[in-house]
Structure 1
Amino acid sequence: MSYEQFSYIYDRLMTDAPYDKWVEYVLDEKSRFHVSGNRLLDVACGTGELSIRLVREGFQVTGVDLSDSMLVVTASKVADKGIHLPLFQQDMSQLEGLPTYDFITIFCDSLNYLASEDQVKETFRRMYSHLEDGGLLLFDVHSPFQMLHGFANRTFTLNEEDIAYIWQSYPGTARYSVEHELTFFVLDDMTGQFNRIDEWHYQRTYPVKQYTTWLKEAGFDVLRVTADFSEDPPIKTSKRIFFTCRKK
């Protein structure tokens, strides 16, 4: 799934995204588990907002994303800021040809865009092969509760002077999956008219126990599972689940 035109308005829609909290999570886990290296692979890096913040924290970051247009936006930011941040277009479930890293991150529920169990399991295997021994895989996913009660059969709207959207979410055919239908109206500064952009996104998640099983099968030690940017383990109503995993 590529974001196509959506990538060019993505940052506008993500102005409230908790990028600083993700950075804090990475720094906390680095300290907690005494990882001395700073080489980090940011998978599904999108428009680079998190990657750039991690560079500023002293990490040697490489960004990977499936979307060409997302990477174009990131490359423009990197050039403007004069920082070193190599970028590669790859599918996370087919990652290959890159070196090994001390950290791999997959945030903003990006793993949930994988459509099948096999893709998730293959992604974990690919991440394992691209980590140094003792390196950490850090990622978050939507919880089953969020899929069933936060998204399914819900409508979200935005109406501002230069942008508006209607976002409708429906239950998918697979358990704990949702389909998002998004219609954007974006003001064209040149013509003064609104352009319509239609997008369809699919997300799927699994129970914590299932993720843990697949991670262990891939060779990882699952060190911590927490929820909602807290130190607490997940409960039934948790929305976002965080996994800290170490390559044995």
Structure 2
Amino acid sequence: MNNFEEYDDPELYDKEIESYLPELPFLKKWASEKSGTIIDLACGTGRVTIPLAEKGFQVTGIDVHNGMLKKAQQKSSSAGVEVGWLKQDCMNLNLEMKSPLIFTVGNSFQHFLTNEAQDGLLSSVNRHLEDDGIFIFGTRFPGVEELLQPTTEEYWRTYRDGEYKVDVSTISHYDGLEQIQHYTTIRKYKDGHGEIVDEKRTNISLRYVFPKEMERLLTSHGFEIVEIYADWKETPVTNESDEIIYVCRKV
């Protein structure tokens, strides 16, 4: 299972989330405390990588998806900023460098669906961090509302795409044994008369990790959790949180 359907159209990906940058101030703060090349894992089209480079940071973006990397290269070239783009599997990194700061955003941690995949990611990160290096990532909080979403089509949001209005809805099914949520995203393109002229469906599966499970997982891979937040604004975590942001130190 390559789990790439949601990313096979980089143009659509950017239309929907390129301008969404809640992580940027938080990452800039941590990047300002480090010297050396920062690594953005699962960088996609460079949504966060390029803005950091524009602020003067040395950044390398790593992804396994050719289309997303190609789009990222085009964007950084157009912006006139230098970014190192590399195609590698985040579960088996082989870089000729170590970094003081590695991060992955967009809840990318949830794309690693098995215990072996999570182990591969965290081992790769640890190997490529400098001593006392920092690893930052976020993941959706596995709360009741998040996991027990309706299995029928549910409206999510609407946005404009040129002349069309796009209504987005989702269908989800949570597999409790595997801790995986299976999503189908449905985009209905409507003309000026409200008639549906096109429909696109994509599928994605996301692994959920409970907080105590994550604590044990990170500790076993040589990380100390130094900060936990409910969002990129450093809000404290509660049972009503939608996500958890982890700041970890290599020990």
**How far is 1:195 from its partner?**
5.7
1:148 maps to amino acid: L
> For residues 73-92 of structure 1, what are the structure 2 equivalents within 5 Å?
73-92=71-90
Q: For the residues of structure 1 that align with 2:246 and 2:217, how far apart are their CA atoms?
A: 12
Partner of 1:173: 175
| RMSD of aligned alpha carbons | 2.4
Contact preservation (8 Å) 1:152, 1:178: no
Using the size of structure 2 for normalisation, the TM-score is 0.84
Partner of 1:190: none
Contact preservation (8 Å) 2:223, 2:248: yes
Contact preservation (8 Å) 1:165, 1:182: no
Dislocated runs of 4+, deviation >4 Å: 193-196
> For residues 39-58 of structure 1, what are the structure 2 equivalents within 5 Å?
39-58=37-56
Identify the match of residue 69 of structure 1 among 67, 70, 92: 67
- TM-superposition CA deviations, 1:192-237 (whole Å, max 9, x none): x966543111111111111111111111111111112243431111
**How far is 1:125 from its partner?**
1.0
Identify the match of residue 6 of structure 1 among 9, 14, 17: 9
Contact preservation (8 Å) 1:140, 1:241: yes
Q: For the residues of structure 2 that align with 1:39 and 1:166, how far apart are their CA atoms?
A: 38
- TM-superposition CA deviations, 1:62-110 (whole Å, max 9, x none): 0011211111111110111221111112222222234211110111101
User: What is the DSSP-based 3-state SS (H/G/I as helix, E as strand, rest coil) of the residue aligned with 2:132?
Assistant: strand
Contact preservation (8 Å) 1:6, 1:197: no
Contact preservation (8 Å) 1:167, 1:180: no
1:173 maps to amino acid: D
User: What is the percent sequence identity of the aligned residues?
Assistant: 21
Is 1:148 the counterpart of 2:151? The answer is no
Using the size of structure 1 for normalisation, the TM-score is 0.85
Is 1:236 the counterpart of 2:239? The answer is yes
**How far is 1:7 from its partner?**
1.7
User: What is the DSSP-based 3-state SS (H/G/I as helix, E as strand, rest coil) of the residue aligned with 1:246?
Assistant: strand
Is 1:117 the counterpart of 2:118? The answer is no
In structure 1, runs of 5+ residues without a counterpart are 188-192
Q: For the residues of structure 2 that align with 1:232 and 1:38, how far apart are their CA atoms?
A: 28
When residues 198 and 26 of structure 1 are mapped into structure 2, their CA distance, relative to the original with a 3 A threshold, is same
User: What is the DSSP-based 3-state SS (H/G/I as helix, E as strand, rest coil) of the residue aligned with 1:49?
Assistant: coil
**How far is 1:155 from its partner?**
3.6
User: What is the DSSP-based 3-state SS (H/G/I as helix, E as strand, rest coil) of the residue aligned with 1:8?
Assistant: helix
**Equivalent pairs, count:** 237
When residues 73 and 243 of structure 1 are mapped into structure 2, their CA distance, relative to the original with a 3 A threshold, is same
1:135 maps to amino acid: G
Partner of 1:36: 34
Partner of 2:26: 25
In structure 2, runs of 5+ residues without a counterpart are 191-195
When residues 68 and 194 of structure 1 are mapped into structure 2, their CA distance, relative to the original with a 3 A threshold, is farther
Contact preservation (8 Å) 2:155, 2:167: no
**How far is 1:126 from its partner?**
0.7
Contact preservation (8 Å) 1:224, 1:244: yes
- TM-superposition CA deviations, 1:15-63 (whole Å, max 9, x none): 552x1x31211233356xxx43141000111111210111122221000
